[in-house]
């Protein structure tokens, strides 16, 4: 069993990649310090799956899938905004101090340095932080508390009537 409180660490990430290992678990959103200033609430968990493997050039690789629901803050009205997270990414493993300075392949996944063990919760947090858009907002007109409410209804679809006048017959005149 690996519940939310379990330790998620790979004892030897390179062996894990060679053996095509799989490790899944849950990570508490509240336990990700670098995520907190983007959040309007930090209850709950994200679930993740890490799979070991190799890329086409036989380099050790970890594939990650992360899913969950974050509560970000809307940039327009500052109210909470539900943000479904559905991430799929991959990272290449390099021994500490051996990350190639300039990978010639632009398609190549990012490199991470891994020592004798790898903290998966840190990796999951990294991937989430990197994936978040710089700014999120409710859909146009959907801002709730405060700002967005003042000019609500009244002028929805101002052109719908005009369009009807210009095209009285939308039916097919075959
Ligand atoms: Zn908003």
pLDDT 10s digits, 42-64? 999 999 999 999 999 899 999 99
Q: How far is the CA of 71 from the centre of ligand 1 (A)?
A: 12
* pLDDT value of residue 113: 92
Residue 40 lies in a domain: yes
Q: Of 1-10, 54-63, 150-159, which gets the smallest average pLDDT?
A: 150-159
- The secondary structure element, H or E, covering residue 165 is helix 160-166
Name the domain count of the chain: 1
d(CA 41, CA 26): 17
pLDDT confidence bin for 66, thresholds 50/70/90: very high
Q: How far is the CA of 147 from the centre of ligand 1 (A)?
A: 8
Contact indicator for 135, 75 with CB cutoff of 8 Å: yes
Q: Of 63-67, 97-101, 161-165, which gets the smallest average pLDDT?
A: 161-165
- Which residues have C-beta under 5 Å from ligand 1, the single-atom ion? 74, 76-77, 138, 143
d(CA 65, CA 86): 7
Q: How far is the CA of 83 from the centre of ligand 1 (A)?
A: 12
Residue 162 lies in a domain: no
Q: How far is the CA of 146 from the centre of ligand 1 (A)?
A: 9
Residue 144 lies in a domain: no
Residue 150 lies in a domain: no
Handedness of CA 135, 141, 143, 147 (dihedral sign): positive
**Full domain range(s) for residue 91:** 9-100+107-133
Q: How far is the CA of 31 from the centre of ligand 1 (A)?
A: 26
Q: How far is the CA of 139 from the centre of ligand 1 (A)?
A: 8
What is the torsion angle, in degrees rounded to the nearest 10, for the CA atoms of residue 69, residue 72, residue 75 and residue 78? Answer: 120
- Contacts for 136 with CB less than 8 Å, ≥ 6 apart: 72, 73, 74, 75, 81, 83
d(CA 138, CA 149): 12
Residue 70 clears pLDDT 50, i.e. is over it = yes
pLDDT confidence bin for 161, thresholds 50/70/90: low
Residue 69 lies in a domain: yes
d(CA 48, CA 68): 9
Residue 122 lies in a domain: yes
Q: How far is the CA of 39 from the centre of ligand 1 (A)?
A: 14
Residue 21 lies in a domain: yes
Residue 72 lies in a domain: yes
pLDDT confidence bin for 163, thresholds 50/70/90: low
Contact indicator for 133, 149 with CB cutoff of 8 Å: no
Mean per-residue pLDDT for 111-136? 93
Place of tokens 């710089």: 134
d(CA 145, CA 42): 20
């Amino acid at each position: 069993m690996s519940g939310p409180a379990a330790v998620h660490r790979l004892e030897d990430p390179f062996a894990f990649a060679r053996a095509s290992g799989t490790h899944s678990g849950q990570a508490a959103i509240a336990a990700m310090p670098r995520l907190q200033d983007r959040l309007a609430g930090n209850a709950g968990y994200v679930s993740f799956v890490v799979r070991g493997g190799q890329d086409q050039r036989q380099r050790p690789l970890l594939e990650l899938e992360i899913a969950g629901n974050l509560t970000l803050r809307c940039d327009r009205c500052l109210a909470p905004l539900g943000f479904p997270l559905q991430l799929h990414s991959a990272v290449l493993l390099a021994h500490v101090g051996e990350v190639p300075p300039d990978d010639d392949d632009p398609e190549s996944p990012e490199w991470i340095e891994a020592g004798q063990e790898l903290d998966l919760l840190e990796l999951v947090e990294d991937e989430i932080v990197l994936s978040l858009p710089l700014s999120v907002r409710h859909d146009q007109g959907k801002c709730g508390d405060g700002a967005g409410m003042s000019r609500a209804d009244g002028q929805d679809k101002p052109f719908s009537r005009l369009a009807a006048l210009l095209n009285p017959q939308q039916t097919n005149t075959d």
